[in-house]
Amino acid sequence: MTDAPVGPAIQLTGVTKSFGDNEVLRGISLAVNPGDVVCLIGPSGSGKSTLLRCVNLLETPNSGEIVVNGTVVTDPEVDIDGFRRRVGLVFQHFNLFPHLTVLENCVVSQVKVLKRSRAEAVEVAERNLARVGLSDKAAARPAALSGGQQQRVAIARALSMDPELMLFDEPTSALDPETVGDVLAVMRELADAGMTMLVVTHEMGFAREVADRVVFMDGGVVVEEGPAAQVITAPQNPRTQEFLSRVL
């Protein structure tokens, strides 16, 4: 018996999404291989967040297919809640529970959703807080932390659910510049540890150094994609060149 072939962790084929008559995604096809980091770049309004939200079924595509680790998530029969549990999501705004400690923020969903015992959930949370360098903040409330620290808690919280892959939507865009580096360092370690990641970001240094592939989107289509060194350092398409000349 041979092993089943390992397909992409995330595969989009011809995905379209409209809001009214605003066609935001116009036939997106892309793949993220297991363990790879793909950075999605492009101007504001190009559909990056919508694409990410479609992967997590926070939006339903109008047409096309999305497959995540073998599950056809665009199948109307899919168990949406069960599927979402398998995907970690980190937004620009971290939305920690303000009334809970950092540790509890990482514990509650494990107990409620995964039905873990409290003792196990605490152990997992402590392990992930250590991973993001915040063991010493476990008893603090989110408001006592910097934005970058709060975002690292949000990452620890997502990791505590043992996700198969992580989606990041501009995780450092709302942060004070001096706290951005710590968050990117945590993401880099995750990447080094083999996590599959799809990352919307304007951090071109991160994309160049960490991404296996970079996808440039504009106007709801993939304009150019390839290895980071190629797309960022030697873009071929004039639209990519123009975008990069503004952000680099």
Least Å distance between CB 185 and ligand ADP?
A: 24
Least Å distance between CB 194 and ligand ADP?
A: 27
**Binder among 9, 15, 49, 67 for ligand ADP (CB under 6 A):** 49
Chain positions 17 to 46 lying near ligand ADP, rule: CB under 6 A, are: 19, 22, 24, 42, 44-46
**Computed from CA positions of residues 9, 32, 87, 58, in that sequence, does the dihedral angle turn out positive or negative?**
negative
**Binder among 11, 46, 49, 110 for Mg ion (CB under 5 A):** 49
- Looking at the Cβ atoms of 44 and 245, the one nearer to ligand ADP is 44
Rounded Cα–Cα distance for residues 209 and 206 (Å): 5
Both tokens of 163, joined, read 């996700």
**CB of 50 within 8 A of CB of 25?**
yes
Segment interacting with Mg ion, rule: CB under 5 A, options 42-50, 66-74, 151-159, 217-225:
42-50
Establish if 201 lies at the interface with Mg ion (CB under 5 A): no
Establish if 171 lies at the interface with ligand ADP (CB under 6 A): no
With contacts defined by CB under 6 A, how many residues of the chain interact with ligand ADP?
A: 11
**CB of 167 within 8 A of CB of 110?**
no
- Looking at the Cβ atoms of 132 and 207, the one nearer to ligand ADP is 207
Establish if 48 lies at the interface with ligand ADP (CB under 6 A): yes
Q: Which of the listed partners (Mg ion, ligand ADP, none) does 70 bind, with a CB threshold of 5 to 8 Å by partner kind?
A: none
